[in-house]
Structure 1
Amino acid sequence: MQIMTLTRRAMILGAAASLGGCSALSSINEAATPLDTYDLSPAAGSGAGRRSGVTLLVALPNAPASIATDRIMVKPSAAAVTYLPDARWSDELPALVQSLLVRSIAGTGQMGYVGPSEAGPMPDLALLSRIDAFQVEVNNAALIAKIDVSLTLLRDSDQSVIKTAAFQNEVTAGNDTPAAIVAAFQAILDTLLPQMATWAAKG
């Protein structure tokens, strides 16, 4: 199903508001409809340099409630939020991004152990992250995938901040199908994940 234009979406939202009690039945029907599920792939950073025995645990990223879901968010305007009607991520976005970070950093081969903070040995370092944007923005006829993630590396022993950095990029989707939109997100990650992985692995 293609993304609705802003005008058509506004008409449908206005009609939905007038339906009153019908909205609950509509929600039940939508919940019963299976959605196509899309995954994203890790991309390791540079493997150059000596391997260390450092242990790194990656915390579950913080994210606004509108992003912290398994739905693919669309912003038709600065204040409006909606979601692709027939597609979802393979997991809630914070968990998906955490997994991508773990696998990308581990893929550098420069650290002794990399894993999620929910399990693993006592860490030397901890990686905190905040997802500020992970959405499709509608700009005239263009659909632009946008990702903005901030990382903070901590020394676990005293919780002191070692360094912090922000990583962001955007890519215009080839068309308005879910597959094309997900491909745009993956294109961004193919650039950002190696940068983030190399940055974190250098400690």
Structure 2
Amino acid sequence: MTHLSRRMALLGGAALLGGCSAISALDAAATPLDTYDLRPASGAASGRSSAATLLVALPEAAAPIGTDRLMIRPAPASVTYLPDARWSDDLPVVMQSVLVRSISGTGRVAYAGRTDGGPVADTVLLVRIDMFEVEVTAPDTFVAHIDITLTAIDDRTQAVKASRRFAQSAAVPNSTPTAIVSGFQRIIDVIAPQMADWAAGQA
């Protein structure tokens, strides 16, 4: 075998190995993740009702929160994500849907929807997600946190009508996706009715 032939053989072998590595990486990337969603929780049907239209804006969130991955905070200055689970959409979209359905479920607003569709708004609900994570407080000790601020805006005058923060935590027994999503859902079951009641009262 000539020097050139040996060199080509070596390059061919290296390319084959590289191709195998690339295929393995693609296979790993193509492996579907378990997908989770959050259920709405409506507020009280009794209370002040309105014939107004209330539209919920897409929530604002910092980059680590605004993805479709379940966020874990192992230390105050670091974040990571569950490797084998995802939300059904980016978290702001998921929470926008939860809020719209929770407010609509009260029956106290003529129309509740998203700002990217539907009729002209009377009131726009701005949403800021400041925390949506699981904190590792000690080895094998996990706490889910949600912290959301709502601001009601008069769409005609652009004046702020009111603003309120909603925050809640829940212990999570382990770091499995099912346990973590259940922890978030328990929090939603508490604060979504509160947010829906408050928002309906601002419409």
Shorter-chain-normalised TM-score: which range?
0.7 to 0.9
For residue 158 of structure 2, what is the aligned residue in structure 1?
A: 159
The correspondence of residues 174-189 of structure 1 with structure 2, limited to 5 A, is 174-189=173-188
With over 3 angstroms needed to count, the CA separation of the structure-2 counterparts of 1:131 and 1:25, relative to structure 1, is farther
For residue 173 of structure 1, what is the aligned residue in structure 2?
A: 172
Secondary structure at 2:119 match in 1: coil
For residue 18 of structure 1, what is the aligned residue in structure 2?
A: none
| Deviation of the 1:29 alpha carbon | 4.7
Q: In 1, Cα distance between the equivalents of 2:76 and 2:27? A: 29
Secondary structure at 2:151 match in 1: strand
Q: In 2, Cα distance between the equivalents of 1:62 and 1:198? A: 21
The correspondence of residues 130-149 of structure 1 with structure 2, limited to 5 A, is 130-140=128-138, 141-149=140-148
Contact 2:49 2:201 in 1 (8 A): no
Give the TM-score taking structure 2 as reference length.
0.85
More strand by share: 2
Q: In 2, Cα distance between the equivalents of 1:162 and 1:26? A: 55
Q: In 2, Cα distance between the equivalents of 1:41 and 1:174? A: 20
Give the TM-score taking structure 1 as reference length.
0.85
For residue 199 of structure 1, what is the aligned residue in structure 2?
A: 198
| Deviation of the 1:50 alpha carbon | 4.7
For residue 115 of structure 1, what is the aligned residue in structure 2?
A: 113
| Deviation of the 1:31 alpha carbon | 1.9
Q: In 2, Cα distance between the equivalents of 1:30 and 1:183? A: 27
With over 3 angstroms needed to count, the CA separation of the structure-2 counterparts of 1:156 and 1:180, relative to structure 1, is same
The question of 1:55 aligning with 2:53 is answered: yes
Amino acid corresponding to residue 198 of structure 2 in structure 1: W
Render the CA deviation track for 1:148-186: whole Å, top value 9, x for unaligned. Answer: 000000000010000001100110112221101100000
Secondary structure at 1:184 match in 2: helix
Secondary structure at 1:54 match in 2: strand
Render the CA deviation track for 1:121-169: whole Å, top value 9, x for unaligned. Answer: 1111000010000011101031111100000000000100000011001
Larger Cα-atom Rg: 2
Number of aligned positions between the proteins: 181
Q: In 1, Cα distance between the equivalents of 2:156 and 2:25? A: 48
Q: In 1, Cα distance between the equivalents of 2:107 and 2:62? A: 32
Amino acid corresponding to residue 109 of structure 2 in structure 1: M
Q: In 1, Cα distance between the equivalents of 2:25 and 2:65? A: 20
For residue 87 of structure 1, what is the aligned residue in structure 2?
A: 85
- Out of 32, 46, 65, the position equivalent to 2:44 is 46
Amino acid corresponding to residue 151 of structure 1 in structure 2: L
Moved over 3 A (4+): 23-30
The runs of 5 or more residues in structure 2 that have no matched partner are 1-20
